Structures are given as structure tokens and as C-alpha cells.
Structure 1
Amino acid sequence: MQSVAAAVTMVRDDAFFLEAWVRYYGGLFGRENCYVVNHGRGAEVARIAEGCNIIGLPGDPHPNFDMKRWRLLNGLVAGLRSYYRQVIVGDVDELVVLDPAEGRSLLDWLADQPLRRVLTPVGLEVIHRVDLEAEPIGAQILGPRRHVRLAPHYSKPCVISLGTKISRGGHFTQASKLFAPDPLYLFHLKFCDFGQYVEAMNRRNAVTEAVGVGVKDAAIGRHWFAEARGEDRAVFEAFASLEMQEGFDLGWVRRRMKRSWKPRGDTGYWQFDRPNIDTQYHLPERFVGQF
């Protein structure tokens, strides 16, 4: 029984992403060290997360959904820190991955990390190049999908061994020092498959429609609303126009994060600049099969 690391997420209906999350973190940490908040007490979520620690919650639609969600997740992380050295927290379509070039597991690597820190992996968005990648995905995502785009918005401070407050959305904390280890990445899976994207967006649009208020009146991510969705096929076809980069050295991204590190106004949170970077990379072979 290990007490090095736990993983925490909250989910409603996203079966495909939850299956990937449970396979990945359950395989690394053991399902007994995975904590799944089942928003709406869905039977399918309970089935997929069997063996994990499942917390069932009422699923009534609410305009402050994201605010309530992160208030709960902050509390869970604070409590679990008393029992684990490191707690990873994030959305169900986000996976923290150690570069396989390190030659050891994420769990072993975390066991050697100093305490009282917040670790911020570099964010990468797995994209489905519909013009190149016809193979469907299943239990394995990296392999059928080999392209990623830089996603500074998803360079999230999500590996916690310090008492701190995490902002709504998980994008900022009140930790005043930035630690962005070279071999650590956060893979965001929203765009990893065209068909899964359409189904997920349909579900999220239905949630915001049930809430019954607009973007400006809700504490819910703008991307959940139908008016911000755009045309699905065009979103994926546009990935082909991202400039392809040679190699896979992202040290310059981490250096840029550190140079722009500063307080986020007078909120108590800290941030780095998060510009849009229209580039993509072909993942090295060593990443295939990581999830």
C-alpha cells in the first residue's frame, strides 16, 4: 500500500475520459489511491471507477457549478495531503505524464520530489489530425494519436504537496514559487478524437442549457456554452495549419514561464503569461502507449 501519491477528479457522464483516467492513474497509483467525485451519482461513472474511492454528489444544474466544484476539490486536496506526499488534481480529461526518457514511473519520480511545493507541468493538447490519423482510438490514445499542440492554458499547477488555495478551473494557486520540472507534462485530451469531442460537447451544451443562464451570468467555463462552440469539423481541420516544429525540446517554454512569473493582480494568486502559440509537435516514439 503506497502513500506517495493520490489522484483526484470530478466527473459527470464523461465515460470515455474517465476510462482513460482510471486506466492511467489506477495503473500507476492503484485504484485505492484514486478519488472520483461522481457528480450526479451516475451508474456508469460508478461502474467505470469501481475500486476507486467514489464520492457521490447531487447533480442539480447550477450557474456557479465551477465555483462549487473547485471549492470541493480544494477541500479534498487539503485533507488528502495529510495522508499522501503528493496529490494530483484536475479535470477528467487531463493526465500528468513523466517523460519516459526518465526511465522510471511517475510514482517513483514523485517519491523523490521535495515536499511543500506545487509542481506545474507543461501543458500539451493531444490533437486529432483528421487529415492524417484515420485509426480510431480505444484503450490506447497515444499511438493512434501522435500530434500535440502547445497549450499554456493547460500548464496547470496541479501536483500539490503544499497547503495552498487553487483557483476555479485549476489554472492558478496562491503558491508564490514556480516549479516546472523538465520531464513533467500535462496532456489535455479534449481534442484527441473528433467523434468523442462531438459527443462531449453535446453533453456540456446540454448542461449549460439546463442551467438556463448565459455565459456572463454563470461560473462555468465559456467553452461549455453552445454559442462559443463553433463548427466542429472546422475546429479539427484547422489543426493542419499549425506550424510543425522539429524535435521535442520544450525547455524554452519553461524558461518563458519563469521569466513572466508574477502576482495575478491583487487576487493572492500567481501566474505566468499564457500566450496563444500556434505550433504543433509530433510526439517522439517513447511516448507511444503511455495512455
Structure 2
Amino acid sequence: MGTDGSSVRPSGASRRTHAGEESASPGAPRIVVMTMVRDESEMLPRWVDYYGRELGLGSLIVLDDNSVDGSTDDLPCTLYRLPPEPWKQRWAKTRARMVNGMAGALLACNDVVVFTDVDEFLVADPGKYAGLRDYLAHRSDVPIIAPLALEVMHHVGSEPPLDPCRPLLQQRRYVKFAPGMCKPLVKRVPVPWEPAFHAIHAPFAVDPDLLLLHLKWSDEPTLSRVAELRHRVREEEGRGSPRSFWAKRPDQLRRKLASWTSPAGESDPVPVLDVEEVGARAVVSKRANGTWRPRGNQTTALDKTPLRVLPERYRDAF
């Protein structure tokens, strides 16, 4: 590793090809990664491209919740189109029941099942692993894994809107630790997730060698468009709690983003993130209902956690 925090990606047990299919050595873990989307024309191509390069397009499953923007047409991976009503009447619980059922079935013939939202990207430390599959091969004895979660932030004063033709992390420098987002998204055992996937019915720990880079706040124009869509869906279908971001208007979210990134405009430089400084291993606790989950309200945590610069070695991840 260089003195600037950069590193050379090590050679591992597997190799990603330009076509997006994985050339893996015998004994490499069989992995499935799932997401559920609705009208995600900007984020879904990034999700498919990233996880397709990391794991192979045959490892991806997209559950389409009635998209109408054409974003799920002609996908190069497995697509399952969900019916309309009446399953969405209790959307969060029904989504969890559906994904848990699929994950349990998939684990009968795969080693690992992962579920992420379409704006969540799991990145193994490139200074230690050749990619996500290599990382999971080194964690064969861990039944449930939670990543160290970082919110990727758009500092509007110094960073232009995202260019979809350029690597995203070369256009965004700033992150915030989000303890409540250290979700147990990776599992080798058919233990059920709770709704929203923040909790699970088994103990787990946060592994700083695996980052979850959440892109919700990574581009102010996209943030506004998605917020408008979700606010409308909440009004029509009642999704999201009154305290969730689904209930916030675009102008409210833009003000939050500006307040969280304000240190980037000050004279003192923003420090580079040290994953050990955040104490991520201590954020998980057992709840009264017998589930395990990370502590911390998302909004409150982002109000309190300091702004940091993403280490240089991650900047070519996607």
C-alpha cells in the first residue's frame, strides 16, 4: 500500500472478465445477489454493471415492482416481474417474506445469498481482496455478514452532477459513516431478515473489510427526482413510515445534504476515513424481540457523524 492510502489490487482466486462473467477457480463460492426496483432508470444500470462484473451476470436477480419507465426491459440478467395488487397492501412485510422465501430456496443450491437495494454497492477492500467473490471465499466460515456502511455524499459546491460515462467514485470524494445502515445483507444460512433488512434472527458482526457504499446522497439532481417519485408513491400507497425519507420532500432532502457536506467548503481539509476510528464492530445489539440489528437512526447519525474522504484505493471500484 502506498503512503497516500492507494494500493495495488492483489491477484486472487478469480478474475472478472470484460464481458461481465466470472472466471472462477474450482471451489469458489456460488453467489446470488438480488434487488427489487421500480422505475430506477439511473441506478439499475450501475447495479447490474457492478455486480455483473464482480460476480457474473448469471448471479443476478432483479425483482421488478411494476416499472413503467423501461428500465427493466432487456436486462442481461434474471428478471422476475411482480404482479400488481394486492400483494403491496403491506409492502414492507410482504417484500421481506418474498425475499426470505427466495433466499431460502436459493441457499439449497448456492453458498451465499445477498440482498441489496439498487443504490447499495458492496465493495471488498481492494488492498486485501481481488473482488467481492474473493472476499466471500475468505469468509466461508461466517454465516451472516454486515458491511461497514458509508453514505456517499455530493458536495454541490465543488462536484458537478454525475457523468454516467465516468466511474462514480472518481467523481465523489466525501462519505459519512452510517451505523444504522450496517445491515446483515450477506448470508449463508436460511435465517430470515426482518422488513427493511436492517435486522435478522441471528447474531452477526460488522466487517470493516467490506464496505456498503450507499448512493442515495451521491447526486443532488438524482436525489431530487427519486424523492419526488417516492413521495408520490407514499401518498398513493402508504409506503414508508412518517419518520422515513419517503415522507420527505425534495427540498427537505437537499437542505439535509447541504448541511452534512458543509465541512467540505471550509478551509481545513476533510480527513481521510479510517475504518477503525468509527468503531463499527460495536454497533450491533440484540433486541427484545430476539433479532439482531445495528443501532442508530439514519438521520440522527448523519447529523452527528463527521464528514470524511473515501480512501483513494476505493476510487476505481465502480
Same fold (TM over 0.5): yes
User: TM-score under structure 2 normalisation?
Assistant: 0.80
State the shift of 1:214 in Å.
8.8
Q: Is the 8 A contact 1:31 1:52 kept in 2?
A: yes
State the Cα RMSD in Å: 2.5
Q: Is the 8 A contact 2:148 2:206 kept in 1?
A: yes
**Counterpart Cα distance in 1 of 2:194 and 2:238:** 24
Corresponding residue number in structure 2 for 1:283: 310
Looking at structure 2, the residues matched to 31 and 250 of structure 1 have their Cα atoms a distance apart, in angstroms, of: 30
Is 2:80 aligned against 1:59? no
C-alpha contact 1:21 1:95 (8 A) present in aligned 2: yes
| Residue in 2 that maps onto 1:271 | 293
In 2, are the aligned partners of 1:149 and 1:279 still within 8 Å (CA)? yes
The answer to whether the 8 A contact 2:147-2:206 is kept is yes
**Equivalent in 238, 248, 254 of residue 259 of structure 2:** 238
Residue 257 of structure 1: aligned partner: 281
Which residue is 1:225 aligned to? 247
Partner AA of 2:261 in structure 1:
A
Query: Secondary structure, in 3 states, of the residue corresponding to 2:307?
Result: strand
TM-score, normalised via structure 1 length: 0.87
What's the CA shift for 1:42?
Answer: 4.2
Of residues 73, 77, 101 in structure 2, which corresponds to 1:75?
A: 101
Question: Residue deviations 1:129-158, cap 9 Å, x none?
Answer: 001112533142101111111111211110
User: Does the 8 Å CA contact 2:206/2:284 hold for their aligned counterparts?
Assistant: no
Q: Deviations over 1:164-215 (max 9, x none)?
A: 1101111011112x23223111111101100111111111112112126894
5+ long unaligned stretches in structure 2: 1-21
Instruction: Go from structure 1 to structure 2 and tell me whether the alpha carbon gap of 1:226 and 1:239 turns closer, same or farther (over 3 Å shift).
Output: closer
Alignment deviations for residues 44-75 of structure 1 (CA, whole Å, 9 cap, x no partner): 23226x22111111234844211111111111
Cα distance in structure 2, aligned partners of 1:215 and 1:112: 38
Residue 193 of structure 2 corresponds to 166
1:192 aligned partner:
218
| 1:86 alignment counterpart | 112
Structure 1 residues 96 and 83: alpha-carbon distance in aligned structure 2, compared to 1, 3 A threshold: same
Contact 1:85 1:115 in 2 (8 A): no
Structure 1 residue 97: deviation in Å?
Answer: 0.7
How far, CA to CA, are the matches of 2:292 and 2:252 in structure 1? Answer: 34
- Residues 9 and 213 (structure 1 numbering): CA distance in 2 closer, same or farther, change over 3 Å? closer
Distance 1:127 1:194 in 2: 9
Counterpart residue identity of residue 210, structure 2: L
Does 2:232 align with 1:206?
A: yes
- SS across alignment from 2:206: coil
Partner of 2:146: 120
Question: Which structure 2 residues correspond to residues 13-28 of structure 1 after superposition, within 5 A?
Answer: 13-28=39-54
Residue from 153, 169, 172 that aligns with 1:145: 172
Amino acid at match of 1:52: C
Return the offset for 1:245: 5.4
Question: Which portions of structure 1, spanning 4 or more consecutive aligned residues, are displaced by more than 6 angstroms?
Answer: none
**Identity percentage over the alignment?**
27
Indicate the SS of the match to 2:70. Answer: helix
